[in-house]
Amino acid sequence: MIVDVLLLLGGIAVIVYSADRMVLASASLASRWGVSAVIIGAVIIGFGSSLPEMMVSILALDQPDGLDLAVGNAVGSNIANISLILAVSVIVFPFGGQGAVIKREGGLMLGSFVLASAFLWDGTIRVYEGVLLLVALAVAGFAVVSWSRGDEASEIDDPTTDRRSSAHLIIALVALVALLAGARAMVIGAENIALEIGMSEGVVGLTILALGTSLPELGAVVASARRGRNDLVLGNILGSNVFNSLGVVGATGVLGSGSMATDFRPDLVVMVIVALLAGAMAFSGDRLRRAEGVLLLCAYPAAILLAL
């Protein structure tokens, strides 16, 4: 058990650090090339910081009942991104609602939640459903790029901006390799712990794996909020959730289609509800306030208790 705990915690630590390095290097390249804040937040940082979920879910498919681990990881991460990460960000640094971003990328996120939930509702995920989700991800990415063409270019606060583009590229690739290793260690540790304490793979995915793989998003969001970059905060969360729902679940369906032992329907309902709640709060005024952040935060332990 001690070795498994060390594998789990060590994997999380490697994932957090390597994902941060990879996202920062990618964002620095994008900033140098004059890419808009929406692209950096939603595509580069949002999609990039969701790579841990992708890696963990794909590697989990090699384990017994790995499909439950993979799906639970994606669904749990979506819930954590809104009811934990966005909530903490709003409580510490209240910010404007960014109505234009929410209408565009928020609509994509809600649509991706509904589509993924529809495919997962019967307790199975099929190859063709995975393919459709990946196609939807490509369409969503194209839409975000098209919408952002009129946005202003953005700059990322990075103390390593004096490095050449090739150096940033090397850092990103090395970080990706470390990310793979950390994800593998995390999956093995979590799976063994679940077997030791009698916890189902679905619950492990919804809780331990989801929280661990969401740590890169938490770091990116808090750092962006502290710098007053509300566009990056929302872009990161919305982009990450779209990638989880379409990319992670889609890849899981293509590579590991089958039936799940865990009933994820209550968690899918919670996922859609917290998205609607956050959207309603954002549209209710020109700011997301601390009280609204507290309300969102209360939804997270409720979701965890529901998973158990």
Quickly list DSSP for 195-215.
HHHT--HHHHIIIIIHHHHHH
Q: Looking at the domain covering 36-154+200-307, what would its CATH class be?
A: mainly alpha
Pull the structure tokens for residue 284. Answer: 């209710």
Q: Output the CA torsion 132→135→137→140 (10° steps).
A: -120
pLDDT at 115 (0 to 100) = 96
Cα end-to-end span (Å), the chain: 21
With beta carbons less than 8 A apart as the criterion, state whether 24 and 158 touch.
Answer: yes
| Phi, psi of 258, rounded to the nearest 5 degrees | 155, -165
pLDDT at 300 (0 to 100) = 85
Instruction: Work out the angle at residue 112's Cα, subtended by the Cα atoms of residues 108 and 116, and round it to the nearest 5 degrees.
Output: 175
- Match 């459709």 to its residue by tokens: 132
Q: CA 250, CA 242: separation in Å to the nearest integer?
A: 11
pLDDT at 307 (0 to 100) = 67
pLDDT at 299 (0 to 100) = 83
Interhelix angle for 107-120 vs 230-242, to 10°? 20
Q: Which of 255, 228, 46 is nearest to 137 (CA)?
A: 46
pLDDT at 30 (0 to 100) = 65
pLDDT at 198 (0 to 100) = 78
**pLDDT over 70, % of the chain:** 76
Q: Which residues of the chain fall below pLDDT 50?
A: 160
